[in-house]
Chains A and B, each alone.
Chain A
């Protein structure tokens, strides 16, 4: 075992213990200091990156390369801040409208193609598949798709075959949620393992 002499490793590990003190003990000043250090450093970093972006993508090409067309986004960006001046606050709606319009326009047509049409095509499996396993997979996928769609069929009375399919759809969704929860647990364990690796490896030198 060889304890690290790097001050940043110490700060990092102290902050880990600070964050652990909430679930293992209770809310306390040590936890709140560590939490605020994290939030503050994240905010500071984001501001630094944002300023760098404004200079890199806006001011520098505008002033050094005379890209006059960049004046439009710069002015639209500045208009966002008019909301702090009640008399001209309405001006801030223009850039917001522009951003929403471009964002929605850019996304809608692409979503239809990629997430509806292409996914629907992929769902149309040919039977039988080359192997038994693939055929079973395809069948489970197809039955899952149809039964879950039936579950959300609200315009038909839920009785007879529709009710059976709907019930199956509910079970399929429960299995899916279980898989999702399992992955959440696994992911959170990985985060915890990262912290343990820092403590035992980087800090204490035991690994």
Chain B
């Protein structure tokens, strides 16, 4: 018997719903916004979807997607149809299958200021668009061993967390030519071989070569990645088995030519494009901090309106879950409008850089979820240390589970949720990680296990109090350097819960 499939089939392979298990939501919709580039018209379009189908709530993810919740399966085809008209697709969410397989190429992240950034060596967005077009709905790439994450950025700063992507293209100058070099095999999650920072492939590529190398790599992953076990199915596991030289050889074999060597530095400062900054065309960008990326449909429409009034109607989403209005001429006027609604673009840097996952919807954590902790830490820093972190940053990453969507293991201070038993009842706890970093990178070290959620801010405060004392003698020392210098005994004493 034939089903009337035309309306359904055309969305398969390009759209899906993910599994929620909290806040009364069964499904999320993760809309890919390649490179975080979106117009006010489509931002409003997604706000309307949020209002009609997602209780007026939306969040920006740390891969520059927009995520809605409370999506009903019955409404999905209408939503997909409207997204299709806007030119957007979604993650395929195949990770819920019990085994390996069903992996897709996830939203490709890029510098949110692509094309307007005065600190840009090269514009990475055209190749993001080209690769997105190629992989979207492409049946040859819908059953990868697991998901595959790309970062492609031409920014001189590391605003996309290149090192925790399966493959990252970062800009370099080589023999006077601007192009990209490649990092491979990164991933922050618990799957084998555990949290891993991507390693340099030591090649130099012109912008025209990026597409072919990217496709060849995903083909290698598809054909050689481990499909026996979900825990071994990510690209980082394959890379661990074959090594970077092995990968390079396989890519070169596929391309039928040798790639040019590059042995230069690949470390860049990990930053967010905070506050107000000048673009290369002398206009301005304005980056609005959103705690945990949380938005409402009304607020989305308001920002879209401001982008139209003060800019060119162009918005950008960042990997730190923030929103940027670009191409602003009257920056003072825009700041005044934002200020009227209490949006202040001054203050501590961590309010832009702290990241929290959607653990409240995921169902793996109990009360006092990641985004709430991020909010409370930022408020605490603003209240108690308002002058210290205006000129220096430290990264706060909060994840509800070891999948590490909130990048706990690469943050200066990372929290990873685990359920704990206190007086016979199950409560939310967090493991504390310190000293993660991407500049000359290292994975954070777990210094405490199962700290009750309500004590987390106090524990962090003990570290901050000690830092404040240290500052009296060493006025130049940054908090991240202070953390580096602490001995194991000092750390143990400071993170001990009394």
Do A and B form a real pair? no
